[in-house]
Amino acid sequence: MARLPRLALPGIPHHVTQRGNRREQTFFEDGDYALYLDLLSEAALKAGVTIWSYCRKRVRDPTLRR
């Protein structure tokens, strides 16, 4: 069953998590993670999103965005 849409209020921070399928490892090499950060930065600039913080983990990538 699909999730219900989340409430998105302008100016309110959102906790966003990037996870692999079945909670498998997402990034296998440092280069994978570096590319992900570059793509995330570009997407955030285009969308006008500020990334306040992030935490590098092998299985998921939680970020706090507004």
Residue 39 banded pLDDT, cuts 50, 70, 90: very high
Q: What is the pTM of this model?
A: 0.67
Q: Is 29 within a domain? A: yes
Q: Is 44 within a domain? A: yes
Domain count, the chain: 1
- Please give the share of the chain, as a percent, with pLDDT higher than 90: 20
Q: Is 61 within a domain? A: yes
Q: Is 42 within a domain? A: yes
Summary mean pLDDT of the chain? 81
H or E segment to which residue 63 belongs: strand 60-65
Q: Is 33 within a domain? A: yes
For residue 57, what are the domain limits?
14-65
What the block records as the tokens of 2 is 């699909």
